[in-house]
Amino acid sequence: VYVMSRDQRTQDNHALLAAQELAKLHEAPLFVLFVLKNIPTRSREHYQFMLDGLKEVSGSLSSYGIPFVLRSGNPAQEIRDFAQEIDAGAIFFDFSPLVGARLLVQEVAKTFDGSVTVVDTHNIIPAWVVSDKKEFAAHTMRGKIHKKLEKFLISPSLLEKQSFSLPSVDSLSFEDATSYIQQIPACGVTIRFTSGEKAAHFQLEKFIDNDLESYAQNRNNIAQDHQSGLSPYLHFGQISSLRVALDVINAVNHVPLLFEKPKLAEHGDRTSGIDGMNALLEEMIVRKELADNFCLYSKNYLSLKEAPDWAQKSLANHTQDIRDFIYSVEEWESATTHDTVWNAAQTELTKTGKMHGYMRMYWAKKILEWSVSPAEAIQTAIYLNDKYSIDGGDPNGYVGILWSITGLHDRAWFERPVFGKIRYMNEAGLRRKFLVDDYIRRVTSL
C-alpha cells in the first residue's frame, strides 16, 4: 500500500512507482490510501482544493487499475487497519520533514510486520541525500546541490496498468469527504487556482510560454503579477519539482548555471530566458530544499531558539525597546494597522489565499516591528500564514517567516531599535523599488 500525503499526483511520483515496482516483484496488487485528518491550523478552503485534486488522482489511478482508498480519522490507526484488511506486506510513505509526518511513520512501523519505506518525491534530490546536517545558509546548500543535481534530473519511468482481482474495501466517497470537511472552519478566502494535476501542468505551460523569459527581471515587482503561479501545486504535490525543472530546462535549451558554478544569479550578457530558468531553479531547488533541510534537522523549526546565535542575542538585547505601535492578533488579521501597504498585503492573503512573494518579507518584518516580542511575532505570522495561505503549513512558509523575523539563513546587518541586527525593510524602500500604489490598487480591486 502506498500512503499518499504530501505528493498528490500520479505522474512523476517516485513513491508510487517504487510501491508498484515492489508489488510487481511479489505479484501482488497495489493500493493507494489517503487519510483525511482535521488539522486545526488549516481552513476548509484548503481542504476543498485538496479534495478536488484527489478526485482527479482517483480517476487517473482507476485508469491504471489501481484502487484509490479514502479514509478519515486517526492516520496511524487507519493505515494499520487498512494494511491488515488487505494483508499488506509493505507500506510506502511520502517524505515530509515536518514532525507530525515523521512521527506517523515511526508509529506505524512499530506495529507493522512488513517493510516500511519513505520516498522523497517532493524534492529533486532527497533531503537526506543532499545533506546529513542542518545547513548554515543557501550558499552552503547550493554547493552540495551543485555537485549532485545533474544525476537526479532524470524523468521517472511511467506508471503501469495492473490487472488483479481485487478485494472489496471500504472507502469514503468524495461526497462523504466533502461532508467531513464541513466540520473544519472556513476562513473566507477565494482560491483563484483550479486544483489538480492537469491544471498544474497547464499552469507550468502557461508560465513557460508567457512569463519565463521575464521572470528574473519581473518576479519581485509587486505592482505586477509575474510570479510562476506554481506554489499551490508544488505544495500539494500536484506537480513535481522535477517535472517543472525538466520542462523549464528543455524550454530554454540550456544547461543551468548550477552545472557551471555554485552561484546562480548571474545576468550580464545572458538571455532573459536563461536568467528566468536560473532564477526559478534557485527558488524551487535551492531555497525549497534548504527549507526542508532546516525542518528535518531542527529540534523545533517554529521557535526562536533555532535562530542563529547572533540573531538570538541581538533580538534579546532589544526586547525592551519601545515599539511605535503594538497590534493584537485581531488587528493584524483584520488588516487594520496604520500601514496601508501592510494592510494591502494582509488583504491579498485573506482574499485570495496567496500573497506576493516579495511582500511576504515586508509583511513578516512589520509583524516583528509592531509586536511585543519576536516570539509573539513568529506565532502571529505562522497563525495567519497557515490559516489563510493555500501553501501554508509548509517548510517554505516556516523558513520564510524565520528568515524575516529571526535572521535564519541570513547575516547580521546594521543594528537598529527593535530589529537589532535583523535585516530591515520599510515602506520607503518599497516605494524606491516599486509602484506601491499600483499594488494597493490591484489588491483593492480583487
User: Other CB atoms closer than 10 Å to residue 21's CB: what's the count?
Assistant: 12
Those residues whose C-beta lies under 8 Å from the C-beta of residue 391, and which sit 6 or more positions away, are 231, 232, 234, 235, 354, 397
Distance separating alpha carbons of residues 126 and 159, to the nearest angstrom: 21
What percent of the chain stands above pLDDT 90?
89
Q: What is the pLDDT of residue 273?
A: 79
According to DSSP, the residues that pair with 68 across neighbouring strands are 32
Q: Are 66 and 91 in contact (CB under 8 A)?
A: no
Residue written as grid cell 540573531: 311
- Concatenated DSSP letters of 5-25: SS---STT-HHHHHHHHHHHH
Instruction: Output phi, psi for 157, to 5 deg.
Output: -70, 170
DSSP 259: G
Across residues 395-413, what is the average pLDDT? 98
Q: What is the pLDDT of residue 411?
A: 97
pLDDT tens digits, residue range 30-39?
999 999 999 9
pLDDT tens digits, residue range 274-285?
888 889 999 999
CATH topology of domain 197-297: 1.25.40
Distance separating alpha carbons of residues 306 and 302, to the nearest angstrom: 8
Q: Which of 54-68, 69-83, 157-171 has the lowest mean pLDDT?
A: 157-171
Q: What is the pLDDT of residue 348?
A: 98
pLDDT tens digits, residue range 171-223?
999 999 999 999 999 999 999 999 999 999 999 999 999 999 999 889 999 99
Instruction: Output phi, psi for 181, to 5 deg.
Output: -80, -5
Sorted by where each begins, the domain ranges of the chain are 1-122, 197-297, 304-444
pLDDT tens digits, residue range 311-369?
999 999 999 999 999 999 999 999 999 999 999 999 999 999 999 999 999 999 999 99
Tell me: pLDDT of 256 over 90: no
Across residues 413-428, what is the average pLDDT? 97
Tell me: pLDDT of 13 over 70: yes
CATH topology of domain 1-122: Rossmann fold (3.40.50)
Alpha helices in 190-256 (DSSP H): 197-210, 212-218, 231-235, 241-252
Q: Which three cell numbers stand for residue 246?
A: 525538466
Q: Are 311 and 412 in contact (CB under 8 A)?
A: yes
Residues counted in the chain: 446
Q: What is the pLDDT of residue 168?
A: 86
Those residues whose C-beta lies under 8 Å from the C-beta of residue 319, and which sit 6 or more positions away, are 373, 374
Q: What is the pLDDT of residue 226?
A: 87
Q: What is the pLDDT of residue 267?
A: 43
CATH assignment of 304-444, given 1.50.10.10, 1.10.579.10, 3.60.9.10, 3.40.640.10?
1.10.579.10
According to DSSP, the residues that pair with 56 across neighbouring strands are none
- Residue 271 banded pLDDT, cuts 50, 70, 90: low
Q: Are 377 and 301 in contact (CB under 8 A)?
A: no
Q: Are 359 and 348 in contact (CB under 8 A)?
A: yes
Q: What is the pLDDT of residue 266?
A: 46
Whole-model pTM? 0.95
User: Other CB atoms closer than 10 Å to residue 24's CB: what's the count?
Assistant: 12
